[in-house]
């Protein structure tokens, strides 16, 4: 998530969105590899879709993506 946050601080262009999608793919691959909850994988898929939607500004994405990923991560750790 730290890498995502750093990318959200950069200029919104194709390259940074591509890098954000690659991080999402990495998280999805790792979650399948380690058999993480289906809810987490679905969240990652939604995050990737939101990143691909150019109508979503970085401000909106950063706020929602980081907040929801962090909250989901905390829930997984607590369980």
Residue 18 has pLDDT above 90, yes or no: yes
For the chain, what's the residue count? 79
28-79 residue pLDDT tens: 999 999 988 899 999 999 999 999 999 999 999 999 999 999 999 898 888 7
CA quadruple 17, 23, 24, 25: dihedral sign = positive
**69's tokens:** 């990923």
Residue 79 is predicted with a pLDDT of: 72
């Amino acid at each position: 998530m730290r890498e995502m946050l750093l990318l959200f601080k950069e200029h919104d262009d194709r390259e940074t969105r591509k890098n954000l999608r690659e991080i999402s793919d990495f998280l999805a691959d790792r979650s399948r590899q380690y058999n993480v909850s289906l809810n987490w994988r679905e969240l990652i898929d939604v995050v990737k879709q939101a990143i691909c939607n150019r109508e979503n500004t970085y401000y909106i994405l950063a706020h929602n993506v980081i907040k929801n990923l962090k909250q989901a991560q905390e829930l997984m750790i607590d369980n």
